[in-house]
Amino acid sequence: MRHIKHAFCLSLVTLGLTACGGGGGKSTSVAASSMAPGSVAASSVIASSAPASSTPASSVAPSSVAAPSSTPASSIAPPSSFAASSSSAAATLVNLSVTSGWRGNGDGNSGITYSSDGVSFTAAGDNLGAVTDIAAPIQLEDAVFTMIVKVSSEFKSSGASLQPFAQIKGGAWAGEWDCWAGNDLFTAGSDVTITCTIAEADKKFDQTANDVQIGVQAKGTPTGVVTIKSASVTLKQKASNSSGASSSAASAYSANVNSLRELATFPIGVAVSNTDSPSYNILTNASEKTLVEKHFDQMTAGNIMKMSYLQPSQGNFTFTNADAFVDYAKSKNINIHGHALVWHSDYQVPNFMKNWSGSAADFLTALETHITNVVDHYEAKDNLVSWDVVNEALTDGTPSNFRTTDSTFYVKSGNSAVYIERAFKAARAANAGVKLYYNDYNIEQNNSKTNKMIEMVTDFQARSIPIDGIGFQMHVCLNYPTATTIAAAMKKVVDKGLMVKITELDVAINQPYCDNYPANKISAFTQTVALAQKKRYCEIVKAYLDTVPANLRGGISVWGTTNANTWLDDLYRTQFDNQKISWPLLFDSSYNDKPALRGFADALQGTACSNL
> Strand 239-240 to strand 87-88: parallel, antiparallel, or no bridges (unpaired)?
antiparallel
- Average pLDDT estimate for 538-567: 97
Fold match between 45-67+90-237 and 260-605? no
User: Backbone phi, then psi, for 161, in 5-degree steps?
Assistant: -125, 175
- For 478-504, what is each residue's pLDDT tens digit? 999 999 999 999 999 999 999 999 999
Predicted local distance difference test score (pLDDT) of residue 93: 76
Q: Which residues pair with residue 268 across a beta bridge?
A: 556
pLDDT over 60 (residue 142): yes
- Picking from 298, 301, 293, the residue whose alpha carbon sits closest to that of residue 323 is 301
Q: Please give the DSSP secondary-structure letter assigned to residue 226.
A: E
Q: How many residues does the chain have?
A: 612
Are residues 267 and 337 in contact, defined by beta-carbon separation less than 8 angstroms?
yes
Catalytic residue among 176, 200, 444, 504: 504
Catalytic residue among 176, 288, 368, 392: 392
Are residues 75 and 207 in contact, defined by beta-carbon separation less than 8 angstroms?
no
Q: How confident is the model at residue 169 (pLDDT cuts 50, 70, 90)?
A: confident
DSSP secondary structure, 505-535, as one string: EEEESS-TTSTTTTTT---S--HHHHHHHHH
Q: How confident is the model at residue 235 (pLDDT cuts 50, 70, 90)?
A: confident
> How far is 531 from 595, CA to CA, in rounded Å?
6
pLDDT over 80 (residue 299): yes
- Picking from 181, 187, 93, 80, the residue whose alpha carbon sits closest to that of residue 134 is 93
Query: Which helix (H) or strand (E) segment is 575 a member of?
Result: none
Predicted local distance difference test score (pLDDT) of residue 137: 76
Annotation marks residue 421 as catalytic: no
Which residue ranges make up each domain of the chain?
A: 45-67+90-237, 260-605
Q: Can you name the CATH fold of 45-67+90-237?
A: Jelly Rolls (2.60.120)
- For 18-77, what is each residue's pLDDT tens digit? 444 444 333 333 332 222 222 222 223 333 333 333 333 332 222 222 222 332 222 222
What is the CATH code for 260-605?
3.20.20.80
Annotation marks residue 504 as catalytic: yes
Strand ranges inside 223-279, DSSP E: 225-234, 239-240, 268-272
> How far is 81 from 457, CA to CA, in rounded Å?
47
| 406 three-state secondary structure | coil
Q: How confident is the model at residue 84 (pLDDT cuts 50, 70, 90)?
A: very low
Are residues 85 and 242 in contact, defined by beta-carbon separation less than 8 angstroms?
yes
- For 434-465, what is each residue's pLDDT tens digit? 999 999 999 999 999 999 999 999 999 999 99
Predicted local distance difference test score (pLDDT) of residue 482: 98
Lowest mean pLDDT among 64-73, 316-325, 436-445, 532-541: 64-73
CA distances from 485 to 20, 149, 442, 512 (A): 22, 48, 11, 20
pTM, 2 dp? 0.66
How high is the mean pLDDT of the chain? Answer: 83
- Average pLDDT estimate for 601-607: 97
User: Could you tell me if residue 111 is left (phi over 0), alpha (psi between -120 and 50 degrees) or otherwise beta?
Assistant: left
| 536 three-state secondary structure | helix
Other C-beta atoms closer than 10 Å to the C-beta of 450 total 24
Q: How confident is the model at residue 175 (pLDDT cuts 50, 70, 90)?
A: confident
Dihedral, 229, 132, 58, 194 alpha carbons, nearest 10: -40
pLDDT over 50 (residue 558): yes
Q: How confident is the model at residue 91 (pLDDT cuts 50, 70, 90)?
A: low
User: Backbone phi, then psi, for 52, in 5-degree steps?
Assistant: -60, -20
